[in-house]
Chains A and B, each alone.
Chain A
């Protein structure tokens, strides 16, 4: 803040960075004001940036979002106890990390409250007159004498300054002198607040999303409907107020075998009535009533299987159509038979179905039956050799489902952040001061400048400005 070193600011800003000794610990108002000052200090900001950086680094070194069992398989129990205590296995959602982010927001808010009124006051303050002695103490300041009377110098200086930064304002000055002040980019001093507020807006949007949104997965079998979303971070389900039907799922591949595109044709049903029909792809989701569906995965499930049972002893053989997880009477044995599980690839042996038989109230007995190896000796259930004749599979599409009421706010924050960054970085508030007094012979001029971005480029520009004001000298000499 101390870039444009002007009186009103120096007085207030400097102490913010100094930890003044407290007169007495019982002095509550001073205790309060010193913690208030610390809460808004840049030192705290740097400290928080440092701790957050360390936290982020640690979070990438430990596996995130895994359970205790997995941790125990990788680390010794003592280390696991520490990991769990510090929540290093779910660091970014841990209370201490969130508290740091909260503290950063408070730091930013307090800092803004402390500084913003001063910036406003500073920018509303208008100089009434210039003090030549002060001007010559500016780091960018030159004084010189030009020949030419005051009126001519004044006209000339006005023109030069106008070309450089804009129309100058005339300030009070005694009879034999004049004072000019030109200024540009006053508004750019507010832009750093835009940057900071946009950070707060992003945090706020993220908070809204985590409080009122959800994120989960949902599988929809081709031709079927679903409205239950299993949440990621909790063992809970959300029931959507409408149904999602998957009419078709399709994967295409490149000739290298790599997947080229995943596509699901989805329909949204309200009370059984179709209200929307669209396909989604990766990178091209569907949003309905604030809930967004993303193409995330796919897979196959078993619907029905045609299975042949051969009685080894009697030599009889019969075939049955079994539906997935629907028990049916097992021939005339008085038992039930059920298709209870399915694997796309059972331990490297290809597709397999798990079939069990049982009597009411009895432990089921059964086995995995390898589909692609019909004569495998283990394909047996309750004394029957089992062979799968036909599988009727269905594909399902895996949808990631999300509702996040904070997204628009976050994106607004992003846009503001970029606008703020560009303007704070690449615009500046600059002031050019000219003071001149008739001195016989000629006129004494003091030129001074100030900017929020002290830079070598601006220094050069200032030198150039001085040259141009002095150039009157050359023209005057030529004329005489």
Chain B
């Protein structure tokens, strides 16, 4: 069995996970939610196993590099990050009901990687510019950040929905297994802090790497610029919370805008704009 096959199974495992989460939330079934968590854990484990196998395969082919070098590999890694971080959060908060959107995002990333004709799953040799340990540090840290923002996006959605229910005067009792607005706001904040920290590390490692490879730590390349845009949006989120009256819904909306910027940094820049990072389209 090769890594592409394993990763194709992962896609279906994530699909099953999102169905279970969705079923759990719609039918208010703690049993389905528990099953969803375990399926999610299994899916992440298969996902990571696929990544490790792919790493080994690249050595067998004589190219030997960490599987983080093209669009396919980064999508696969991104899926593992989103679900991995989500599961840690689930364990910490004890709430299982927020898993629908993260598992759906992981599924979409994997499905796109596995089935889109734009994405080649072939293991390719590394271009000279990518031969650096900074590459590994850069990609991993950026993706931890992006994954956290994906989860913050999910929490923001639920937050806005919960808030509307509250304002409409629904009793929170019937949906007690979905966290309340205050808890959601706090989880959101924690996840954004985590994401902001890792995005900062990601931008910095990228910058240090660019300095050693091209002689310039910042060159306003579109990808760099878009990651800065994302960073500015989340910096605005952090500061907005300090100003009175900017908490709650505004933070949720800003965070969702931030995730759109993440998506554009990742896909839009590759497909619509050209620059140093456009190797990732292949």
Residues of chain A at the chain B interface (Cβ within 8 Å): 1-2, 17, 42-43, 45-46, 49-50, 52-53, 56-57, 59-61, 64, 92, 206, 215, 254, 256, 258-262, 281-285, 292, 294, 296, 400-402, 407, 410-411, 414, 417-418, 421-422, 425, 455-456
| Bound Cα distance from A399 to B275, whole angstroms | 20
Q: Are A414 and B218 in contact (CB under 8 A)?
A: no
Partner of B208, one of A45, A52, A92, A411: A411
The residue in chain B whose Cβ has the minimal distance to the Cβ of A263 is B128
> How many whole Å from A6's CB to the nearest CB in chain B?
16
**Extra pairs beyond A254-B63, A418-B197, A456-B182 (7, CB < 8 Å):** A49-B236, A50-B236, A52-B232, A53-B232, A56-B228, A64-B220, A260-B128
Q: Are B204 and A261 in contact (CB under 8 A)?
A: no
With known contacts A52-B232, A281-B128, A414-B207, A294–B183 Cβ distance under 8 A? no
- B193 contacts the other chain (Cβ, under 8 Å)? yes
A422: B residues at CB distance < 8 A: 197
A285: B residues at CB distance < 8 A: 212, 215
- Please tell me the size bucket of the interface on B: 35 or more
Q: Are B211 and A407 in contact (CB under 8 A)?
A: yes
A418: B residues at CB distance < 8 A: 197, 200-201, 204
Q: Are A282 and B200 in contact (CB under 8 A)?
A: no
Partner of A282, one of B128, B222, B226, B242: B128
The residue in chain A whose Cβ has the minimal distance to the Cβ of B197 is A421
Q: Are B216 and A283 in contact (CB under 8 A)?
A: no
- B243 contacts the other chain (Cβ, under 8 Å)? yes
The residue in chain A whose Cβ has the minimal distance to the Cβ of B240 is A46
- B118 contacts the other chain (Cβ, under 8 Å)? no
> How many whole Å from B176's CB to the nearest CB in chain A?
16
Q: Are B236 and A425 in contact (CB under 8 A)?
A: no
| Bound Cα distance from A425 to B194, whole angstroms | 8
Q: Are B217 and A407 in contact (CB under 8 A)?
A: yes
| Bound Cα distance from A59 to B275, whole angstroms | 13
| Bound Cα distance from A57 to B220, whole angstroms | 11
Q: Can you pick out 26 interface pairs between chain A and chain B where the beta carbons lie within 8 Å of each other?
A: A2-B242, A42-B243, A46-B236, A49-B233, A49-B236, A59-B220, A60-B225, A60-B269, A254-B63, A256-B124, A258-B127, A259-B127, A262-B128, A283-B131, A285-B215, A294-B214, A401-B215, A411-B208, A414-B207, A414-B208, A418-B200, A421-B200, A425-B193, A425-B197, A456-B182, A456-B183
The residue in chain B whose Cβ has the minimal distance to the Cβ of A406 is B217
Q: Are A60 and B211 in contact (CB under 8 A)?
A: no
Most buried by B among A49, A258, A292, A417: A49
Question: Interface code B189-229, partner A: CB below 8 Å = 1, 0 otherwise?
Answer: 01001101100110010011001111111101010011011
With known contacts A282-B129, A410-B217, A414-B207, A42–B197 Cβ distance under 8 A? no
